[in-house]
Amino acid sequence: MKIAFVGIEDVAGMRKTFPSAQFVKDISKLNNRNKIELLSVFIDCPIGKKELQQFPSLKYVVTRSAGYDHIDLKECKKRNISVYNVPDYGTETVAEYTILLMLAALRKFKACEDSLRSKAEIKPTELQGKEAFGKILGVVGTGRIGANVIKIANAFGMKIIAYDKFGNPELKKLGVKFVDFQELIKTSDVITLHLPLTKETYHMISEKELAKMKNGVIIINTARGGLIDIVALANAVNSGKVGGAALDVIEAEEIMTKENDVLTKNIDSSKIKQAFVGNILLQNENVIIMPHMAYNTEEALEKILEKTIITIKKLEKGKCELYNKVA
């Protein structure tokens, strides 16, 4: 099978397992695209109609991530291309990072550090944070990561409510109360998002939802940027409605640090606005924005490579109905 890897870090390690595969940093650098049968990518490599047209022999796309919103599943289905992900690599890693961001937001880490760096007079009343203990944590999505966030937060003595279309009976043993989405956003002191990005979840947090939240609510997002309308969030932060936000993902994150792309690439104007608003939020002392790093631990990356190898090996043997097939 002709295999190609795009954007993989451990090239030497993977080359030992797949010696005849191609390894490139950018999909545009691939040779003999008409012969490639399996393509392994990461979240920063969009696979849409334009890209798929270049791979007439493609049978499989294996993304080294849990999320797959960077892949056009409908177009893959039209072309009879199967798509696989790595759904269970970051259960502990992303959950721990979520708690880290929550505590940082509650205790105003960014404002404290900014105050110290500016060598200004330290004013404890302006830097006063809040405890996690006793706060109502609203968890949106109780899959592997959301469930693990709940288990950790439970140890902090937080009161936990959750929203999930499918529920999770096991979590009720921890005292978790499942509520509808509207009740969750109205009731929570802290809201954390753990859902995939779909048509149904796109901008699930927008101006309307923000208006219903408690004054001073803290919002955490380690899932996908498109779950939150970044313009609406910026307005809510500026007005003080949102007391703090800690975001590992954000709309237009792919161009926030690549300003020259505005000059050299055909980028939708809405994306340019989102990137601009993102850079404004970066300056706000009540907002923490990280460069999509929640997944980035030694342990998680080892699991990603391990699961990717297992998936590809099984596909080489003709086993297509795997647990991690998404389309």
Q: Hey, how many other C-beta atoms are within 10 angstroms of the C-beta on 242?
A: 25
Dihedral sign for Cα atoms in the order 102, 45, 297, 261:
negative
Which tokens belong to 256? Answer: 């926030």
How far is residue 101 CA from its own chain's centroid? 13
- CA distances (Å), origin 81, targets 43, 60, 315: 18, 5, 12
* Cα–Cα distance, 219 to 27 (Å, whole number): 35
Query: Sign of the CA dihedral 39, 297, 251, 190?
Result: positive
Quickly count: other Cβ atoms within 10 Å of residue 44's Cβ: 13
Catalytic residues: 224, 253, 292
